[in-house]
Amino acid sequence: MTRASVVVRTRDEAYRLRLTLASLAGQSVAAEVVVVNDGARDHTAEVVAASGLGCVYVRHERALGRAAAANAGAAKASGDVLIFLDGDTLASPGLVAAHLAAHGRGGAVMARGETLHLRRTRDFLDPEGLLPMPGEAARLAGSPAAELARLRVTMEDVRGDFAALEAAAGGGIYPGVAPRKLYALEMDAVRNHPECGVLWAAASGANFSVEAQAFADVGGFDETFSINEHRELALRLAKAGGRMVAAEGARSLHMIHRRGWRDPLMDTAWETAFYRRHPLAEVALLAVFWRGLSDPALAGAGRIGSLPELGAAARRVADVRGIAAVRRAHFRAAAEAVAA
C-alpha cells in the first residue's frame, strides 16, 4: 500500500502551525507528519507536542531556508510519496487522499493541488486569538468587534466546517491580481495540456507532492535557491522523465500575511542562478510570462499568455543564449509575427 509523508516547513508561526496540524489530523487518509522547525524562536515545539499526531520533529538551531528544511524533512520521512506543506497552510480533509490518487494514475511523479488564499488572516500572527502581526495593532484597534470576529479562524472551523473556509478563499500564488491569473493558467495547463513541455513551471511551493524515490534520485531541492526552488526541482524531475498531474480535490488554504512574502519579479537573484544551471529559453522567459499578466507594456506582441505559449515562444528562440538575449529575441520574433 502506498503511504504518504507530509513534510511541513515552519519558522516562527506557531499559532498558525497549530491550525495547520489540526487540518492534518482531520485527513480522510492517515499520513506520517514530519515537522521541520527551521530555527524558530517561538513555541513551535510545544505546538507540535500538543498536536496528538505523533509527528516526526526536526529542529534547526538556525534558519537554513525553505529548500534545506524540505530536504531535512524528506530525509526523515518514510512515505512513498512526499507532500510538501508550509506551517501557515491549511489542508483540506481530502488533500492526502487526492495526492495519493494522483500518483496512482499512470506513472505520475509530481502532483500539485489547488493552492487557495485565505485573505482574512493577513493582519494576524494568531488568526484564532486575533493577536495582531507586529506593527498592525494600532491600525486594528478601532475595528468593530463584530468585524474582528468575522476574521477569526478557529480550531472548530478547521475541524468542523472546512467547507466554509474554502468558500471564503480564492485562488492565488502570492497576493495580488496577477498571481491569481497565474494560478488559473498553471492549473489549466496541468489539467488540460499534458503534452505541454514546460509543465515544470506550474510546480507549487506548497501542496506539491513528489515520489520519494524520484526526489532522492535527483538529489532533492537545491539548497542554494531561496525562492523558486520548487520549480527548479520540478524541471530536474521533468528532465529525468517525470510527469506532473493535478491532484484534484487537494485544496490548501494559505493563511496569508501582509508582509514577508517574496515577489519573484522584485527579488530576482534566483533568475540568474536558475538559468546558469538550466540554460534554456523557457527559463529565461519565465519572468516575461509572469510580468505580462499585470504589465500593460507587455500587451500584444510581447505578451506570453499561457504555459503552452511559453513553450512555443521558447522554441522560437532556442538557439539564443543568455537571459537578456532570449528576451530580446522573443520580443523581436513576436513583433515580426504580428507584422507579417
For residue 131, tell me if it sits in a domain: no
DSSP letter assigned to residue 161: -
The verdict on 235 and 329 lying in the same domain is no
Give the domain-ending residue among 255, 287, 307. 255
Report if residue 159 sits inside a domain: no
Residues 9, 39 contacting (CB under 8 angstroms) = no
List, in sequence order, every residue forming a beta bridge with 255; answer none if it has no partner. Answer: 118
Q: What is the pLDDT of residue 303?
A: 80
Q: Torsion angle of alpha carbons 230, 231, 232, 237, nearest 10°?
A: 90
Report if residue 208 sits inside a domain: yes
Domain end position, chosen among 240, 255, 270: 255
Which of 110, 89, 87 has its CA nearest to residue 247?
Answer: 110
> What is the DSSP code (8-state) at residue 45?
H
- Do 91 and 188 reside in the same domain of the chain? yes
Q: Are residues 324 and 230 in the same domain?
A: no
Please check whether residues 244 and 321 belong to one and the same domain.
no
**The domain spanning residue 18 has which CATH number?**
3.90.550.10
Same domain, 95 and 185: yes
What pLDDT does residue 338 have?
46
115 and 43, same domain (yes or no): yes
Per-residue pLDDT of the chain (340 residues; tens, 9 = 90+): 799 999 999 999 999 999 999 999 999 999 999 999 999 999 999 999 999 999 999 999 999 999 999 999 999 999 999 999 999 999 999 999 999 999 998 778 999 999 999 999 999 999 999 999 998 899 888 889 999 999 999 999 999 999 999 999 988 776 565 778 899 999 999 999 999 999 999 999 999 999 999 999 999 999 999 889 999 999 999 999 999 999 999 999 999 987 656 677 777 788 889 999 999 999 999 988 888 887 766 666 568 889 999 999 898 887 777 888 877 777 666 556 545 4
Residue 133 placed within a domain: no
pLDDT of residue 36: 98
Counted domains in the chain: 2
Indicate the angle between helix axes 269-277 and 229-239, nearest 10 degrees.
Answer: 10
- Which residues on neighbouring strands pair with residue 8, listed in sequence order? 35, 85
- Would you state the pLDDT for residue 153? 97
Please, are residues 247 and 83 in contact by the beta-carbon 8 Å criterion? no
Whether residues 177 and 101 share a domain: the answer is: yes
Residue partners of 251: CB distance under 8 A and separation at least 6 = 92, 95, 113, 114, 116, 166, 207
Picking from 220, 255, 290, the residue at the C-terminal end of a domain is 255
Element (H, E) at 108: strand 108-118
Q: Is residue 160 part of a domain?
A: no
- Please enumerate in sequence order all residues whose Cβ is within 8 A of that of 65, keeping only pairs 6 or more positions apart, or say none: 38, 223, 226
Pick from 25, 171, 29, 150: nearest CA to 99: 29
Same domain? For 291 and 249 the reply is: no
**Residues 198 and 294 placed together within one structural domain of the fold:** no
| 162 belongs to a structural domain | no
Same domain assignment for residues 290 and 327? yes
CA atoms of 56 and 7, how far apart (whole Å): 9
Residue 296 lies in a domain: yes
State how far Cα 314 lies from the chain centre: 24
Contact 180, 172 (CB under 8 A): yes
Do residues 110 and 45 both lie within one domain?
yes
The three-state secondary structure class of 17 is helix
CA diameter of the chain: 66
Position 128 in a domain: no
Q: β-strand 131-132 against 124-126: which pairing, if any? A: antiparallel
DSSP 288-339: HHHHTTT-GGG-GGG---SHHHHHHHHHHTTT--SHHHHHHHHHHHHHHHHH
Q: Is the pTM value of this prediction over 0.85?
A: yes
Question: Are 317 and 172 part of one and the same domain?
Answer: no
pLDDT at 4: 98
Task: State the residue range of the domain holding 27.
Answer: 4-120+167-255
